[in-house]
Structure 1
Amino acid sequence: MKLLIITLLIPISAFTTMAQTKGKTVVKKKTVVTTKKPVATAFAKNTLDSASYAFGISMAEGLKERGLTTLNYDLLVKGLRDVFTGNKVMLTSTVAQTSISKAFTQANKSKYTGNIAEGKAFLESNKKVAGVKTTASGLQYMVIKEGNGIKPKATDTVLAHYKGTLLNGKQFDSSYDRNEPLSLPLNNVIAGWTEGMQLMSTGSKYRLFIPYNLAYGERGAGQDIPPYSTLVFEIELLKVNGK
């Protein structure tokens, strides 16, 4: 009778076992392990439905990370459908790649309108500073010290000391800090350097104010030079090495 009473007192939802230890009745609860079922989705009838939607999420997240905020969704789906069903696509691979590149360029540009505006305002003001000259390309320069040696050509290699900064004064590179001048071919550097250094005689030291389109453009350079950055360089031409 005692065993029957103990059994009736155990909640129906709990599983129990009885064990006899030294003449006493001990009640032990079993550990109940529950497996969480995946949340059902009303739109997904099968794995293909879920995967299709997941592909859309993955694509959108990747595109948003690269600056795109919207697409023509009807044409996006048409492009997918045409390829999967074997229909003739409406763009050649070359035109398609060009269109994608332009879309990313425009999206990226919209993220850096502040840099573009800052550079434009700076150059507009800077060209009025005494001693600053502006070339047809938009490059600005100031002579710190004029040398009397030969001037390099675009095909020459030169030896130069330099320091580069952003408009806010942050330095991103300096051969002076390394105590080691740089030897480089003028036809393999940013356009602002190629043009600016051809203005310099050996022994000169110039300050160049380089618009983003003559510097690293829409891509920037590494972590230190953001896209669409106007740059300031102090350059000292030490030697022209010829071709």
Structure 2
Amino acid sequence: MRRFAALLLAPALALVGCSNDHSSGKPRPDGWHRPLAAPSVPVHAKPLPAVVRTDTVLPSVSGPFGSRATISLPKSAPSGKFVVAPQTPGRGRSAHAGDVAIVRYTAKVWRTGKELPGSYDKGSRPQVFAVGRGATLPALDQAVQGQRAGSRLLVVAPPAAAYGTTGSARLGVTGKDTIVYAVDVLNVIASHALVTGDQKPVPGDLPQVRMNDSDGTASVAVPDKAAPKGLVARNLVDGTGPVVRDGQTLVVQHSSAAWDGSRGEDEADLFLSSRAEGGPLSVVIGRGNVIAGWDQALAGRRVGSRVLAVIPAGLAYGAHPPKGLTPGSSVVSVLDILAAV
């Protein structure tokens, strides 16, 4: 997990639900939420085999893009090569390191033919991950690099690219098993992506925000006064996409500054910035996986919105802030909602 993602994780445990007016909320108990069926294991220390585009014997994939694929396995044993073979060409953006990929997949164990949990299963959602960051299995992370949105890929992943030499007892995968994936690249969000649209003015007693065209970060001017006691969240840009719901995974660009250490400054120092860390952040919203102020401020907004959130310490980091913030600091976040799945 990237450094700033870890800093935004909710501090243990007053998790706050969304209110209709986005202005206040009472703590409610909740559990950690893991909405995706996608495999997620630590990156293996063992070097990955080079990706090749074909092999002498390959499984076959049938079915239309955007639906569960049928994977037919050959009777012969796998060669051990890491194969990424495009089946359906895409016409969207190519995925590169730092971009965010949104994919669905079907998977089978070559040796047994067992179908593994996939993101086309009932109740599952697409897998969302930062490309080239080791955030998911190499079978997915490496496979999408250089591929366009709209592509369907056949991926033959030897153990080093899948579950490693330990396998997964829970899934019935041994440390010698090759896994076959059919991966649909639904969308690729550029590392530098920002929402578009005219930015609305805000009252003078709130932070003033200007986006820097050169690097995509926000310049935040903080008023020379005490921060509001409650959460203040309002759109700077009105999105026209779907409404964000609790439990969805959002892809956001953000810039965050401390109010208390920046009072009266025309350009506050940013203690967190997704652009500085290499690309957008993907977070599950409304389940306490991020600071409560984000959960409240983002739920109910529309995709394509830019949101200014002034977050009191009790909905941010409280008495245990990350390095660079003083205890009890209010936080100013500028958030671009790029996608919700």
Given the two structures, how large is their TM-score scaled by the length of structure 2?
0.31
Specify which structure has the higher proportion of helix.
1
Specify which structure has the higher proportion of strand.
2
Q: Which has the larger radius of gyration?
A: 1
Given the two structures, how large is their TM-score scaled by the length of structure 1?
0.42
**Which protein, 1 or 2, shows the higher relative CO under an 8 Å CA cutoff with sep ≥ 6?**
2
